A = this chain, B = another copy of it.
Amino acid sequence: MPFVLPSWISQQPMVESLQCELPLPSLSDNTGDLDRLLRILKQSGFSPVIAHPSRINHLVRQLRQGQFKVTVVLGYHRCHWELMEVVAGFAELPLLGFAIDLGSSRLVFYLLDLKAGKVIAEDSVPNPQIPYGDDILTRILVARKASNFRLLQRLLRDSFNRTMHRMLERAGYSHLDVYGLAIAGNTTMSHFLMGLDPANICREPYIPVVNCFPLCHAADLKLVAHPQALLYLFPNVGSYFGGDLIADILGVGLYRTDELSLLVDVGTNAEIVLGNRDWLVACAGAAGPALEGGVVERGMMALPGAIDRIRIDRENFEPCCHVLGGEKAAGICGSGLIDLIAEMFMSGILTVQGKINRRIFSPRIVNTPDGPAYVVAYGAETDDGQDLSISEIDIGIFLKSKAALYTILTVITGKVGLGFEDVKRFYVTGTFGNTIDPSMAIKIGMLPDLPLETYRGLGDTVGCGVAMALLDRALLEDIDKVCNQITYIELNVNMELMNEFRGALFIPHTDLRLFPSVEIPDGACG
């Protein structure tokens, strides 16, 4: 199960279907066909209802064919409803929607039954723009050329259409059954999807073309669904705070609780939201790349072949690795890396400075052109037959990332005059964050040393938030409120920040009072 929908949402999807039996026209009740239908819809609480001029002949033909007994589908456009479809007779129409997590590295699709309020199917594909840039900035630069810009949009659209088509075919549905799409992505990805120029997103003062995207039709983006299918794209708060984060906040219900909550989405960036029902502050920082596995030499995403769990024997320093998919190891993913650093530290292989302890003897500790390294897997256990090792350089890169994350967490909490001990719920989300074991992350000083029950994993919170919006249209108001409520804090690089950062570069930290639960192994202090 990718996520569990919260029980508090109400069953009021963005798209509704209802069966109507209209009084037959007569000389004494000779209103127009469409007006007759709208009159009864108004009685059922749907008003104003608007039909697109090009659809009226079709809609009215169905009304006549059903002898004024029809099943209608209505789409929620906030200030009005759209009469999307009319089907002759009382039909049990499937009413499907897609909730889509538009990640810069991965697109995750959930096919929903909007009537039952359930996920029918799930699928995901790599973001097809990756060949044009691993990171968002590169893609923005590539897109400066108009033909590239159009290409990047087309790649996304084709990927959407192929995946949705495949999922529908497998589930035995038609694209005409899809009446709603809700999508959340970061600001740049959302711009690409909508065909909006992302150039100013990465230029000071970092201004998106739009934060609040208009509700539109799937057809406006050439997405294959019912021609009138409603498309809702989550709003951004700014260039560095996208709709994915808003979906996160919705998904964990952060804006609804009295307790102070902290949400950190660890993906390509680390994005942080702190607050409760009364206030929300947010910030973002480039803490992610190394964590996500993209920068460390043998790092990779959490895909089959990735080492995701590691334990190291305290006596003989031999590792025990778990490889995703049970295959030979191809690399090491973010959670594996955290385990590795933590275990190397706890077993005394690493010093508090992140250096390999030369006084330890193990055949796993070798010298490489990159300096001392620890062999995680010998060639016999890897897919390319080469030893998979981690060097001091890799570790240094990783520690910078973890230090950046911890620093951001410290700074944002401090900015509002609070400490970590005030945080009652700590959500670690994101493609990478999802897989983190908080107990290990605490040991290396990446996450604050809070009681473990404070940490909550909830699966794909972005996907969850997106699905929630499709299933409960009242949440669109909540989303707007959240967007207006968030105070986005720019983190200026100053002395205070640099001092925090330097302390956090150590394992777990230079100030050990911050990590009372972490026992420093003998000899780790170098």
Task: Report which A residues bind B (CB closer than 8 A).
Answer: 25-27, 30-35, 38, 48, 50-54, 56-57, 60-61, 78-80, 194-197, 200, 204-214, 216, 220-221, 236, 238-239, 488, 490
Contacts and interface: CB of A to CB of B under 8 A. Distances in A.
The 3 residue pairs across chains A and B that have the minimum distance between CB atoms: A32-B211, A79-B79, A32-B208
Given A214-B50, A214-B52, A238 B31 contact: yes
Nearest to A239: B30
Contacts of A238: 30-32
A66 to B, nearest CB: 15
Contacts of A200: 33
A32 B212 contact: yes
Nearest to A240: B30
A493 to B, nearest CB: 14
A38 B212 CA distance: 10
Contacts of A53: 194-195, 213-214, 216, 220-221
Contacts of A216: 52-53
A35 B210 contact: yes
Contacts of A34: 209-212
A56 B207 contact: no
A211 B35 contact: yes
Nearest to A488: B30
B31 A211 contact: yes
Nearest to A200: B33
A48 B214 CA distance: 11
6 contacts: A27-B205, A30-B205, A30-B206, A32-B207, A53-B216, A60-B196
B214 A60 contact: no
A60 B197 CA distance: 10
Given A27-B204, A57-B209, 9 more contacts: A26-B205, A30-B205, A32-B212, A33-B209, A34-B211, A35-B210, A51-B214, A56-B196, A79-B80
Contacts of A214: 50-53, 56
Contacts of A27: 204-206, 490
Contacts of A207: 25, 30-33
A205 to B, nearest CB: 5
A208 B63 CA distance: 13
Contacts of A197: 57, 60-61
